[in-house]
Structure 1
Amino acid sequence: MIGNRDEYESMYQAERKLWWYRVLHNKVIRQIQTVFPTDQSIRILDAGCGTGGLLDALRQAGYLNTLGFDASTDAVFFSRERNLPVELHNLLDINSFHPSESFDVIICDDVLYFFNDEQIRHILGVFRQRLRPGGIFISNNNAFPALRGTHDIALNISRRFVKKELADFAGQTGFSLKQVFYWNFLLTIPIWVVRKIQLLVWRLNPARPVHSDVNQPPHWLNTLLLNILRLEERLFRKPLFGSSLFTVMR
């Protein structure tokens, strides 16, 4: 995705309103509030922050002691358009990012799928070292290789995860796995159908440009999808499957 300014611009325009981002950001904030129910002065790092939508949501929730970085100059540009404290840095060189600083919360959403197993273990190992006592690491990732579509091709996503993989990474890097669960359960089958159709169309014409699924649908559809996921959260605490995989480690 790095170098694809159009995709970052789409993300920037969609993050505040798109149903998927709104649900994800609420999940992250609820996890933080569970561990730190009254302390909004905690130090939070968003590693691979994209265009800053989550940092903006954290700011609106009252968390001002935040910091982010991304390896894309476009992502940093759009984050700074929101007046967010974001720096240009590569996740694989996490050791050199503010080396004397530690954090109460480290977040790395939808980034690990760019890396191989060895790189992920390295990244998580450094995150564990940089967490303060009692701190948490939060990560959302895409789930199930069967859900691969042109979205993955457009963003150069190299892998999708299942629970066991994230649990294994936690154990291999000294983390305690606090939570791991799938979400977007009620929409998984429709997503699977749409992505199979997308792949079929693309294979018939591979020269056709592909784009991610990050775009703002009509207001009525966005509201409907948001309400479906809110219903899911009330009905299913830990769904059997879903298009996304949410993980909390300590």
Structure 2
Amino acid sequence: MAKQNCGNHTPIAGRNTMKESFEKKYHEIEKNHFWFKARRQYILQYLKNCPRNSRILDIGSSSGILLNELAEMGFERSNLYGVDISANAIRNCKENGIQNAFVMDAQNITLEQKFDIIIASDCLEHLKDDEKALKNWNSLLKADGTLLVFVPALMALWSEHDVENMHFRRYTKTELETKLKQNGFQISKASYWNFFLFLPIYAVRLLSRLNLFKKGKTGDLEDEMKFNSLFYNLINSENKLLKYINLPIGVSTYCIAKKQA
């Protein structure tokens, strides 16, 4: 499976950044790859009724694609912020019109602003001290502010993919909820995500561990693009279902949480 890194995002914080060759390829396809596109679509779907003057921080902003899509929805560009550990990502952000973009460690974001909404997509698994990061993110939210956090799910899916991309862990939904509650958040919604692709991805990773299936590290992103429209439509159908239900299992898990008073 393609890298599920920080949002649409390059890895951030508490460790080295991804290999330069992978980062370059990632930036080339992040706008259209089904995984990142469908996840951005879910976030946009959730935020569509939020006030357009909301101040929003995207942790692991990569090239600023999500932030630009928020601007296209009518959110005020001056209130859109991005941070990433990668100087290349922040340079891309600025070139793409996101001027409030900063190279920072996600465990210690030092912005003076307080935010209505913080988005952190596939970042937490890259951080050695995830609880330190959650405390930091909580401090950046306004009273009753909202955090949307996506992470890779289930250690049963652990593979060379996680090693190559310098993950520290994968999470169950309950583990993610518990860490959020312990660090000042109240859960509004929690679910798994990417249910339809769970079984084939689990099968591939299990066979890989048994040395019955070999998959190259550098070609995965391009290989998946062959099925881009199909996979995007599958996951986007889940996005619509998630308005009404929670999914019992998936390749990722996520929470929407409020800062506790």
TM-score, normalisation: structure 2: 0.81
Q: How does 1:140-151 map to 2 (within 5 A)?
A: 140-151=150-161
The unaligned stretches of length 5 or more in structure 1 are none
The unaligned stretches of length 5 or more in structure 2 are 1-10, 12-16
Q: Deviations over 1:109-158 (max 9, x none)?
A: 11100224xx2222212222221123101111000011122221221112
- Identity in percent: 25
Q: How does 1:157-196 map to 2 (within 5 A)?
A: 157-196=167-206
Aligned equivalent of 1:47: 59
- Inter-partner Cα distance in structure 1 for 2:58 and 2:241: 30
- Inter-partner Cα distance in structure 2 for 1:4 and 1:77: 17
Equivalent position SS for 1:186: coil
Q: Is the 8 A contact 2:41 2:236 kept in 1?
A: no
Cα distance, 1:91–1:169 mapped onto 2, change above 3 Å: same
Equivalent position SS for 1:108: strand
Q: 1:224 aligns with which of 230, 234, 241?
A: 230
Shift, 1:247, TM fit: 1.0
Q: Provide the aligned length of Structure 1 versus Structure 2.
A: 238
Q: Is the 8 A contact 1:108 1:138 kept in 2?
A: yes
1:113 equivalent in alignment to 2:125: yes
Matched residue type, 1:247 = C
Cα distance, 1:154–1:202 mapped onto 2, change above 3 Å: farther
Q: Is the 8 A contact 1:106 1:136 kept in 2?
A: yes
Matched residue type, 1:32 = L
Cα distance, 1:225–1:3 mapped onto 2, change above 3 Å: closer
Q: Is the 8 A contact 1:11 1:215 kept in 2?
A: no
Greater Cα shift, 161-170 or 82-91: 82-91
- Inter-partner Cα distance in structure 2 for 1:215 and 1:238: 31
- Inter-partner Cα distance in structure 2 for 1:131 and 1:218: 36
Aligned equivalent of 2:165: 155
Aligned equivalent of 2:217: 210
Matched residue type, 1:104 = D
1:66 equivalent in alignment to 2:92: no
Greater Cα shift, 15-24 or 3-12: 3-12
Aligned equivalent of 2:137: 127
Q: Is the 8 A contact 1:125 1:174 kept in 2?
A: yes
Cα distance, 1:247–1:9 mapped onto 2, change above 3 Å: same
Q: 1:241 aligns with which of 234, 249, 255?
A: 249
Q: Is the 8 A contact 1:14 1:216 kept in 2?
A: no
**Alpha carbon RMSD of aligned pairs, Å?**
2.5
- Inter-partner Cα distance in structure 2 for 1:3 and 1:126: 23
Shift, 1:163, TM fit: 1.1
1:5 equivalent in alignment to 2:20: yes
- Inter-partner Cα distance in structure 1 for 2:236 and 2:216: 33
Shift, 1:106, TM fit: 0.8
Aligned equivalent of 2:35: 20
TM-score, normalisation: structure 1: 0.85
Cα distance, 1:235–1:129 mapped onto 2, change above 3 Å: closer
Shift, 1:196, TM fit: 3.0
